[in-house]
Structure 1
Amino acid sequence: MAFWGTEVKPGKPFTHIFDGLKGRLHISVATLGTGTATKKSILQCNVGNKSPVYLCSLFPEKAESLQINVEFEESEEVIFSVIGPRSVHLSGYYLGGHRHHNLDDNSESYGEDIADSETQRSVNSEEDKYDDSFIDDDDPEVYPSSPVSDSGDSDSGYLEEDK
């Protein structure tokens, strides 16, 4: 890993270009630059020709530093810019170039956007046998309330009939 940092000033975008030797860029923290302006500053990024994405909003004296933990390994330029009066300092590190060796295939690093996917649900697939190992995101079970003591002694921890 190698440290990385930059300052993105309002009206002066910063362009990151992927370097296979340095590897994937992990940005850990965004910190508001010094100044007297009291309005928020928004950090946004554009990847290639895609729409901009807001990474964070920083507010003087309220939220001046924020962990963002995002990684970039795009073959297209990543442009960071600030909307607002104060600069934003970004810090993070390069993960090294040994993790991903096939960057010349013009595919995205982590697959395709869900909206662009045209996959169909498989029936009796090999993956069905692993269903029990996934997180259960059903509604949580609701348990009845704990009985409350009538004695008014909240420190006792016993019910009246247990005494």
Structure 2
Amino acid sequence: MNTSTCYIWTEHHEMGVEEIRAVSHYKAYTADAVLDLLRFVAPKMMKPRDAHFSREIADNLDDPKYKHYKYWSNPLETRLPHALDMEIYSMYGVGIPTLVGKTRFNPSGIQTFIREYEHAAPANLLEGRGTQSGAHVDILGNFVLIEDII
């Protein structure tokens, strides 16, 4: 940081005309599109992220590469432990797929309990995100879900 001119250097200063045009041509972003865009615009920033995290789907969970810690945060590239006494509670809004029963990701067939919450939009602006919401993060304020957890 140059304190005499209050100038702060960021990686955005390395962006060329091509990178700026690529950003301006995108209208809607998906998660994959954002990551691809960031890899193009800020490759130095994304290199450490790609070295430590993965976001793919495993073809063969027996492949030794999946023992590396970068795959552990992705439930589609690691399997649940062989823990017969373990239970899974899946609580989600209606229409969201979840892991049910014995699959390659649940090799010991850990018992899974499922509870679905129907989404009801807030009645007015004073209700905020809604006390009966089943949508993404908003479900954390769903009164029925809170009661079930308690």
Higher helix share: 2
Higher strand share: 1
Into which bin does the TM-score normalised by the smaller protein fall? Answer: under 0.3
Instruction: Find the structure with the greater CA-based Rg.
Output: 1
Give TM-score, length-normalised by structure 2: 0.22
